[in-house]
Amino acid sequence: MKIYDCIFLDRDGTINFDPGYISSINDFQLFDFVIPALKRIAKLGNRFCIVTNQSGVARGLIKKKELVVIHNFIVEEFKKHQIPLLNIYSCFDHPDSPTDRRKPGTGMFLDAKNDFNLDLKKCLIIGDSYIDIKAGFKLEMDTMLVLTGNGNTAARNLTENEAPTYIVQDLNQGARELCL
C-alpha cells in the first residue's frame, strides 16, 4: 500500500467516457466505478489533481464557460464523496502549437507542484494515453495506464523502455493495486 504526495488524474477516458470533444455537461458522464475507486484510494491518505488537455477550446469546439460547468460538476462530485481534489488544471493549446503546459509537457504538473508544494517524484499519474505516461516519465513519477478510453491503443504502442509502473483495466482495478 503506497501513499503518494498527489495522484494526478487525466480526465477524458480515465475518469469519464470520452465520446470526443465534450462541449456540454449533458455529454459528460463519469465511469460508474470512478467514485468508489477514488474513495478507496483517498482513504489511504491520497489526494488528487486533474490534469487535462482541452484543445477543443482552441479549436472553437468547446466554450470555456461550458468547461467551467463541467469542472464545477467534477469538483462537487469529489466534495460530495469526500475525495480530496486539490485542483483541476486545463490546457487549451492546439496540438499544432503547444506550449509546455500541454501534456506530454510538464507545465500543469509544475503549476500543481508550486501551488501545493508537491514532491513530483513522490506522485503518480493515472491516464489512458501515452502522453500521460510520457509526462510522468519526464517528471520521474510513478505511472498507471488504464485501458479505458485510449488505453488499449496506448498499451499496444508502448516500447519495452516505456513500461508504466502499472497497467490496469480501469481505475477500479487501479484502486485494488494501490490498496494492496
Annotated catalytic residue within 5, 10, 119, 128: 10
* C-beta of residue 133 within 8 angstroms of C-beta of residue 157: no
Helices (H) and strands (E) in the chain, counts: 6, 6
Angle between helix axes 34-43 and 171-178 (nearest 10 degrees) is 20
Annotated catalytic residue within 5, 12, 93, 96: 12
Q: How many CB atoms sit inside 10 A of residue 74's CB?
A: 20
Residue with cell 469519464: 16
In the residue annotation, 12 being an active-site residue is answered as yes
| Torsion sign across C-alpha atoms 166, 152, 52, 19 | negative
Mind telling me the catalytic residues?
Answer: 10, 12
